[in-house]
A and B are shown apart, each in its own frame.
Chain A
């Protein structure tokens, strides 16, 4: 299973494909599910290549993206506005791959692609030859989020007479697909970019309150929305995770302030001390330029930072031989244990 995509800085390959291929895994037949949690740039780069390589995988994305308005939005931004926005551009490439798949490039036994909506089971692999079963559930978007999202996507469409501007990501992320993975008797929570909301029908409140969600507690959490305070919901931690669960964070240097902040990390620390981050939370320093240029930029720019830099990886592995309750965590590159 592959969730979202980003590129390796050197090879420009999708990192997931590079990693699985280096492990000797045949991605064409072994990957059963490819999930795009939402359409923002930082979750999509290289996604079309993954879709192309993982021939037998079902493609999953939020039900909200199924609308004609979303397809129209993507087509408008990528083909007619002559301007580049990598998120919608990548989705346009995904559409191209999906067209090819629908015309016989994929075995019929794989079945149709799936739409993620709260509490839907996306994958079930019975025990058969292995010692555990595997299930994957979508925890979001809720029905209310769907209604809201369709209206928001409609508002993204330009009106006649308005300038052809670039597509800029909208927030908050109501339609992000959070996932619940069951491996034997262990649970994993992938929080995507789903945010919290006062309305109990939206965001994490809706997930926690849902009577139909799979029960249990997760021992691994991909912390939602880069650990931001607007994605923090204490009941998600207290009711859906085990004490001292492994919290995996991905930093985000874009936005008004880099994520996670120290305050954000402290909130997570109140639930677990096992916090691992794939890179530097503060962003990266801009390169030095001509001294006149640097001096002028300092006078003009109130804040300034590089938003993409070297990233690391956190690898959590479960061994079927040793028993699933003995995970190992390894850090690579810029990844760090936030102590």
Chain B
């Protein structure tokens, strides 16, 4: 079991981000300011080649970050919801950590599904259930169970019409029509 454990870094912005300031990597900044400046008493009637306003070096890029959390996965299942009845969800789950294991049928409270995913939790919907440890950089470790319902594409009218034509043609080929 431990051999198949995996770690995922959870990307979270640090509270005080470290930044690299681009000022330090523009070599001719001063030279650009000097061109045509009043201090040098140079008057020119020609249009300057570069009409863009002088830009303060305000472009900031985030620096390298360390993840604040690591999720050590001990077990994952892929599930299919069979029925929602009251506050209870009945589902069949397939072991993704040890695929040789037989499928199991479970019931659990709908509360285990994140609120944002509950509208998707309908019979036939696919979900992933992970159990593991959430390790924080400050050394804290929490045991975590996470159920997420898979976001999947929707049927298009074009696809459904094509399937209807295909079904009619298949029915004729097998002599059912």
Q: Mark A281-297, 1 if CB is under 8 A from B, else 0.
A: 00010110110110011
In chain B, positions 140-159 with a C-beta closer than 8 Å to chain A are 143, 145, 152-157, 159
Contact A293 B90 (CB under 8 A): no
Task: Tell yes or no: A305 within 8 A of B by CB.
Answer: yes
Q: Mark B75-107, 1 if CB is under 8 A from A, else 0.
A: 100001111000010101000001001111111
Contact B167 A72 (CB under 8 A): yes
Measured CA separation A160–B105 after assembly (Å): 30
Measured CA separation A77–B109 after assembly (Å): 28
Task: Tell yes or no: A151 within 8 A of B by CB.
Answer: no
Using Cβ atoms and an 8 Å threshold, which residues of chain B touch A301? 106-108
Contact A160 B155 (CB under 8 A): yes
Given contacts A75-B167, A164-B154, A290-B1, contact A302 B108 (CB under 8 A): yes
Contact A161 B108 (CB under 8 A): no
Contact B102 A296 (CB under 8 A): no
Contact A163 B125 (CB under 8 A): yes
Measured CA separation A302–B90 after assembly (Å): 10
Task: Tell yes or no: A66 within 8 A of B by CB.
Answer: yes
Contact B175 A102 (CB under 8 A): yes
Q: How many residues on B have C-beta within 8 angstroms of the other chain's C-beta atoms?
A: 52
In chain A, positions 278-320 with a C-beta closer than 8 Å to chain B are 284, 286-287, 289-290, 292-293, 296-297, 299-309
The contact of A95 among B122, B154, B168, B174, by CB within 8 Å, is B174
Contact B167 A68 (CB under 8 A): yes
Contact B143 A72 (CB under 8 A): no
Task: Tell yes or no: B67 within 8 A of A by CB.
Answer: no
The contact of A102 among B103, B126, B156, B173, by CB within 8 Å, is B173
Contact A163 B154 (CB under 8 A): yes
Closest chain-B Cβ to A84's Cβ sits at a distance in Å of 9
In chain B, positions 108-135 with a C-beta closer than 8 Å to chain A are 108-109, 112, 120, 122-126, 131, 133
Contact B153 A293 (CB under 8 A): no
Contact A71 B176 (CB under 8 A): yes
Given contacts A83-B126, A160-B157, A293-B74, contact A307 B120 (CB under 8 A): no
The contact of B80 among A162, A166, A256, A299, by CB within 8 Å, is A166
Task: Tell yes or no: A127 within 8 A of B by CB.
Answer: no
Using Cβ atoms and an 8 Å threshold, which residues of chain B touch A306? 102-104
Measured CA separation A168–B126 after assembly (Å): 11
Closest chain-B Cβ to A87's Cβ sits at a distance in Å of 12
Given contacts A80-B163, A112-B175, contact A302 B170 (CB under 8 A): no
The contact of A72 among B106, B152, B163, by CB within 8 Å, is B163
Contact B170 A293 (CB under 8 A): no
Contact A164 B145 (CB under 8 A): no
Using Cβ atoms and an 8 Å threshold, which residues of chain B touch A68? 164, 167-168, 171, 177
CB-defined A-B contacts under 8 Å, sample of 21: A71-B171, A72-B163, A72-B164, A99-B174, A160-B156, A162-B154, A163-B125, A163-B154, A164-B152, A168-B83, A255-B105, A286-B104, A287-B98, A287-B102, A292-B74, A296-B145, A302-B88, A302-B108, A304-B105, A304-B106, A307-B104
